[in-house]
Chain A
């Protein structure tokens, strides 16, 4: 019994022990597995946290770029030149439309009404199902955008559906499923608007398809203008919709770009463009014309005209070539060639030749020679020059003049633009010194202007230039040949010579206005160096005044203003070189003018590239370019508010005296009046003139109408209301007054020429006056009133 009991216990223990061990082993396995998975979790959650959470965030978020508004560009008076506006592109995903089985015909019809695009065109794009994106319309405004959105939100089909799966068996609630167009999206973007179209296109430049500035200040100041793009990071769910309880929106605000205030004056630019265009037609200029206006005291660019042979581009659509050229290029068969030709033509059109293309300045360069000679003191106003018509220089054929000028003073030599005298002048300076002056005037380096990347001139090396045995380049340089500089360099150097002797970097931006404040650069920021003294500069001005007053630039004279200048006619040797004998020579005629000479406020360089020889005008700077510059100055100077100072004779010409016509025959009276420059309006058919309006001896504007009566009348006793003629030009003011039965006479300061506008009338508008009363009007250049006219 005892034995059995022991046995049982032993067996029991054996079985339980084996089982316990097995349970323990299973538990150990489980624990090992738990530890392994714990480590796996540690690896995923702690070690690989950065990698995985980044990936998760990337999947969960959607970045939407908020394009920064590009800065606005103003002219120096605060007038708008370029601005950006938010617009939308309407885009369709044809593939999605196909997959969603959207009724594209209805879609096309619906959108056609809103967008104003033919439905067929939309349908055609919507059926390109192998693509994922087709632009239906670009740059639609916010109003259209709202309409499109409304259209897209409206369901095109509704359907009652039962819930699927198990709900269906248990009996789910019926739901209405609405189908909406999901293939069309509105993508926000910005568009640049250039409010003045082609005006000043080469200074402003344009914005390319990537919204980056190309050419002009748009390019130079791209960083400042473009600001900083912002973005919105928002969470989406796995289906791509906005996530519920989405408090994770991260908004990085866009920083609006800085605004630019240019030194450009839109009105001056407009005057200049008008006259350059006139010059092109009048002289048949073949290869484009260009002009720069700067303030010579600081070298601020006031205006810059660049009519290329390919025309002027509109920055609103910079890729469009002139129609005739486009047709011509489209005719090229080979596609690669055609594309290249179009690209070249566009680049030619966009290029600002005033800063990139070198030219031989010709006689205009004599300003620099003169300034250097005066500064060195090797000549003065009393120095005499003798010109026999030709002058031998070692190493080249003799320097010639058009005629033998004989014995001249310095002023006469300058006025005659006498090559011989200038070569002698340069020889007095000496080649090395002269070379130094050229360098000092900044002609051998880039000007560093901010309207684009400019080029430096092409010069002889100093060893060649200063070779005493071969003075060919040195001598020719004295009158502006055998080297090339850009027009911008010429203007900059000339501005230093006449504007006080200081060389400034030419610049087109006055202020950069950012949200944090204005960055206004002072003149000293642009100062390069003092080249000549203030006094010398004054002497140069006086001598150049003579050129316009008596010399080759006579045609640039402007009544009431002292204008200085220098003509230039340069033969294009480089282009000529490859051409066969007998082809007509090509010239660049130019004129450099500035006014007023005692304190120059504006300096203009005009270039006419290859004018026609068949216009009856001689191809000379003095005959072609000078009158154009004169006309420009006549408009611009009053606009700028430069006080005119008239001579007695000029003042006397302001008004004419009405002759006594009573008692004369009408024919006699008419001839008397026309002799004074008046127009006669005869009323009645009597034999003798009974009365006249206005009375004899009154002063009237030239071109006014005088009424003479051959029968008795009561007209002078009638009263009329005086109209408002302020802000009108002389001719318009006179016409308006005459229509009201009044007469006009000029009073006071300004000449009623060009752009001058009426600023004052002797009888206030709205008052009554007898018929024939003479209303005195005075002119000025009130800028604000001037704008009105220029806009027309």
Chain B
């Protein structure tokens, strides 16, 4: 029996399982204490770090940023705790996250579209990312992250069957068990048979995988692609590339957990890898061209830093490639394109083993831009040193571990996908942020959960934690 037919026979198994588990353990259990504590610890450390990073600007003491965050945090934590009582997916309740998923996503997307135009739209730094309603500023793109996770998880389970290649029946079980070499022999024979029908069949080994992949991508993955593309359109217009990248990555993670075939994962990984390599090569070529021009310029006279920046900007097109170029060459144009990266590295590096001490950071004095958003952890690294930074990273890792632990122990498939998706969202943001501030990947503006300022992000993150806590209530007590 194939996996597919097995699943088809048991399409309602999720519901059945859940009802059974409810029958076994009729009462709500408490939510997962370690996960709750870990998120609180991270929130407190994050607020402390944000206080230190943001309390001074242009030789002026200012608590604007931290006060907003400090006032909002307790409210949001209470909201989070309340949200944890909403079940993720239960058949006997109306108010579940699963039932809310489509509307949640739709509202988030509509709000995001509203940022582009209309009475609530506002431009800031050449982008329209904010929704302003009276005194409230909101970045709805954050909500899309959760919306996408919920919608994907719902769809993955509503479908009633795992992701599969359309028109392909899984081969007989006997076939999978025979030797690899024998499989090639069988394949070769059928290829010769096909050739005897038509010589065009010689293209079969090339056409077949492409056809299968495209069919899979366009048919099976159609709803997912549709949701994702609709979500990304406003972000592309805003523009907010980093959010788009994070949402796409979260979507991929959800699909992987939801059962994306390994073959597809492999193909996608290869495509992404090749694309990345092409981008790097392209960026490097343009960098070389710019360097040659600068060298030419040098023969007549030493160009100023501004002129060098201008040459790079002229030679490297499209401008997004600049990030790749200066990721590879952070020592070039230190006062222009790689200023931020350099400042971050200096902040992190000057922390040493034990750091310069809490509140003692010097790079926050108008050296490091975005010190309260994307680079708050650089300041934290400078103040607490390697020991502080690695401790926080350890807590982050524990947090991610506990999240995945919950995803593994929940009783139904949908909840598991939602939890894993949310934890992936945290993991991706943490890893991307730290990778950016240490110049491990090209710089992009991804905030650090619990650390960076921003109420939209705080609400989204704590909502995520609330959902995970809610999910953790379905785990039987003995499994703790």
Q: Which A residues form the contact surface with B (CB < 8 A)?
A: 7-8, 10-12, 14-16, 18-20, 22-24, 26-27, 30-31, 33-34, 36-38, 40-42, 44-46, 48-49, 51-53, 55-57, 59-60, 165-166, 169-170, 235, 237-239, 241-244
> Quick check: A44 and B365 within 8 Å, CB to CB?
no
Bound CA span A52–B130, Å: 37
Taking CB atoms, residues of chain A closer than 8 Å to B17 are 12
* Residue pair B346, A45 in contact (C-beta under 8 Å): no
Whether B413 is near chain A, meaning CB under 8 Å from some CB there, is: yes
Q: Please, what's the 1-or-0 string for B16-33, where 1 marks a CB less than 8 Å from any CB in chain A?
A: 110000000000000000
Candidates A24, A52, A166, A237; contact of B124 at CB < 8 Å: A166
B58 near A44: Cβ-Cβ < 8 Å: no
Residue of A nearest to B365 (CB): A237
Task: Assess the A45–B132 pair: CB atoms within 8 A.
Answer: no
Tell me the bound Cα distance from A60 to B350 in angstroms.
Answer: 11
Cβ-neighbour of B408 out of A24, A46, A169, A239 (below 8 A): A24
Residues in A with CB closer than 8 Å to B367 are: 59-60, 237-238
Quick check: B386 and A42 within 8 Å, CB to CB? Answer: yes
Q: How many angstroms from the CA of A480 to the CA of B413 in the assembled complex?
A: 120
- Give Cα distance in the complex from A52 to B396, angstroms: 26
- Residues of chain A within 8 A (CB-CB) of B202 are none
Bound Cα distance A241, B58 (Å): 9
Q: Give CA–CA (A118, B164) in the complex, Å.
A: 89
Q: Are A27 and B401 in contact (CB under 8 A)?
A: yes
The contact of A18 among B59, B259, B435, by CB within 8 Å, is: B259
Asked whether A244 lies within 8 Å of B59 as measured between CB atoms, the reply is yes
Q: Is A23 touching B431 in the complex (CB atoms < 8 A)?
A: no
Q: Which residues of A contact B417 (CB under 8 A)?
A: 19
B259 neighbours in A (Cβ, 8 Å) = 18-19, 22
Q: Which residues of A contact B274 (CB under 8 A)?
A: none
B264, CB-defined interface residue at 8 Å? no
Q: Identify the B interface with A (CB < 8 A).
A: 3, 6-7, 9-10, 13, 16-17, 56, 58-61, 122, 124, 130, 132, 135, 137, 162, 253, 256-257, 259, 345-353, 362-363, 365-368, 381, 385-386, 389-390, 393, 396-397, 400-401, 404, 407-408, 413, 416-417, 420, 424, 427, 431, 434-435, 438, 440
In the assembly, what is the distance between CA of A498 and CA of B281, in Å? 91
Pick from A11, A26, A53, A237: contact of B349, CB below 8 A: A53
B453 to chain A, nearest CB (A): 13
Among the listed B362, B434, B438, which residue makes an inter-chain contact with A60, where contact means beta carbons less than 8 Å apart? B362
A416 smallest CB distance to B (angstroms): 76
Contacts of A40 in B (CB 8 A): 435, 438, 440
In the bound complex, how far is the Cα of B397 from the Cα of A244, in angstroms?
36
Nearest 10 Cβ contacts at the A-B interface: A52-B349, A238-B366, A237-B365, A53-B350, A45-B386, A56-B350, A238-B367, A56-B346, A27-B404, A49-B352
Give the docked Cα–Cα distance between A41 and B346 (Å): 12
17 cross-chain CB contacts under 8 A:
A11-B9, A19-B416, A22-B256, A26-B427, A37-B435, A38-B393, A41-B348, A42-B390, A46-B353, A46-B386, A49-B353, A51-B349, A52-B348, A56-B346, A56-B363, A239-B58, A244-B365
> Which one of B3, B259, B385, B408 has the highest number of Cβ atoms from chain A below 10 Å of its Cβ?
B408
CB distance from A248 to the nearest CB of B (A): 8
Majority DSSP secondary structure for residues of B touching A: helix
| Closest chain B CB from A769 CB (angstroms) | 80
Q: A8 to B1, alpha carbons, bound, how many Å?
A: 13
CA distance A44 to B351 in the complex (A): 9
Whether B413 and A19, one on each chain, are in contact in the complex, defined by CB atoms closer than 8 angstroms, is yes
Chain A residue nearest to B426 (CB atoms) is A30
Q: How far is the CA of A44 from the CA of B390 in the complex (A)?
A: 12
Alpha-carbon distance between A384 and B408 when the two chains are bound, in angstroms: 132
Known contacts A33-B431, A237-B366: A166-B257 contact under CB 8 Å: no
With known contacts A52-B350, A60-B367, A34–B438 Cβ distance under 8 A = no
Q: How far, in Å, is A12 (CB) from chain B's closest CB?
A: 6
Per the bound structure, the CA–CA distance linking A441 and B400 in Å amounts to: 95
Please name all residues of chain A whose beta carbon is closer than 8 Å to the beta carbon of B130 when the two chains form the complex.
166
Chain B residues, CB < 8 A from A57: 350
Residue of B nearest to A52 (CB): B349
Residues of chain B within 8 A of A52, CB atoms compared: 345-346, 348-350
Instruction: Given the known inter-chain contacts A42-B386, A44-B438, A169-B132, please indicate yes or no for A11 contacting B408, CB distance below 8 A.
Output: no
Min C-beta distance of A7 to chain B, whole Å: 7
Contact B390 A38 (CB under 8 A): yes
Closest CB in chain A relative to B336 CB, distance in Å = 15
Chain A residue nearest in CB terms to B390: A38
Contact call A37/B404, Cβ cutoff below 8 A = no
User: A11-B7, A23-B407 given as contacts; is B365 within 8 A of A34 (CB)?
Assistant: no
Q: Tell me which residues across on chain A come within 8 A of B427, comparing CB atoms.
A: 26, 30, 33
Q: What is the distance, in angstroms, from A3's C-beta to the closest C-beta of chain B?
A: 12
Chain B contacts of A26 at CB under 8 A?
253, 256-257, 404, 420, 424, 427
| Chain B residues with CB below 8 A from A244, complex form | 56, 59-61, 365
* Given A18-B259, A36-B440: A243 touches B365 (CB 8 Å cut-off): yes
